[in-house]
A and B are shown apart, each in its own frame.
Chain A
């Protein structure tokens, strides 16, 4: 018997501007021991389905149809019945481990509370069970860690604690809503491994809500694809991911940037490759560290940045060298805390290096003052991550785009300004009529293109893009990257492209700089570095990226585990 069955499930939200049907006619089922992935882009209603199955919808939502969990109808059930169900028969893992735990309670006590909520267990018995659970989710020295507060744990460990709470009462159904989205890829791989093992051991059914096709390929048995509140395609993971039937699924999969991997079994070329050596790829004309003839557009030399002073100082960057030349794109990759954003901010002059030098267009940023400094900066364009925070909500699109003109081209007539705005709007493929609209009325992808238009309005020689597409859906990301690439071909600006997504960087950058904890692990041409990395760290990073191909991903997972086991041995 299915552990979860929804039949014609619908959810409507009543809002200020009328009723919105977020979910319509969703029928799905999850069998014991099976993982069903619910995939879709933002606004597709996938999280709403998950919440409806838990009976956790917000007050302005009404559910129709039926959702049966282990024989109990959830839609319209009274709160007391739902409470009995939640945490024991069905439990949930949320996206953000930082907010899922109570910061003022020790993690052992939080797990024990969940156990005692649903069973007649003594306090000491529950505490002992909590330690057992921490051990099961792979937390080292669990007895000691049970006494830790959440802030003393890393993000990955916190998510393990959240999972320990979710499995505390051996639920028959586990709902995981983007359980690894807030985590780095290496941590993501570990958490997915943990979930897979737990589900296999206990025969728990898993409803996995995610936007990441790689995660689906890695973890799911079956897939349901959602579009605008409806399921458009359901099937086995290999059928859906490798032989999609519906147009939307095809488009979605086509938009996913795929990490090209060296053919299995070939691996890195025999013998250690000296850093910077070219491995006979097409890009070998570019010297890997990028220091050829002409002066670089931006040149960071031996840059260190420390926040704070003395023993408590945080060393965000330690002696890094990065150069970007005219017309080339350098990808800056690394996990959170690697210092990649700080490096970009040093290049922008927003963060002052503690030591080392920054040359922008051949001039030293330390000695440039006043007018010269302003002139240097007029050659920079900036695109930052958050499409909402990037544009001032109180300005029109035209005002946002024209801001750099107002700073550097004061004398420009309003007709010329108007013309220039129209030109850049054309360049980023937005209709000119958008100029008078407010940013609020635009979608995330449109906003990022407005940011790009603003960055380009002064015809910069250097574009610094810090995770410009991370907050966007894959199909939107594809368009934005396409526009960016076209513009770079036309205008020839250099680009420093910061991203945590190795697949995007692989497609987009000619050279890659891999950072880890404030130092550069390795850098070189993209083909060399990402196909045949020379450091263990880069190799581990690459191995952890899930690819949206279940067959290939299974193979990669086995290889990765074998490598890890070899390291441990």
Chain B
């Protein structure tokens, strides 16, 4: 079955790569929504079976160790999501922001 509709796809941004990025971001947003619905189903089924109540979930307060582990996870998560921003800064710090700087590296190993 064909996946793409026949006909040239329009682009809207000055750089068509941004259009592509938008589509990828929205696909991810869609999958987050799919996961959220599945989790919601799990919670409701678990509640129906008396395994837990959703009030228990709402009332849950992590103990200090759990809170610390969660904080570590969130820190790592944010770092992963914003990886490109951190790497941009590292590149500035190392002076590797121009194409010439990389071409120099090619020259260095090729000559």
A, B bound:
no
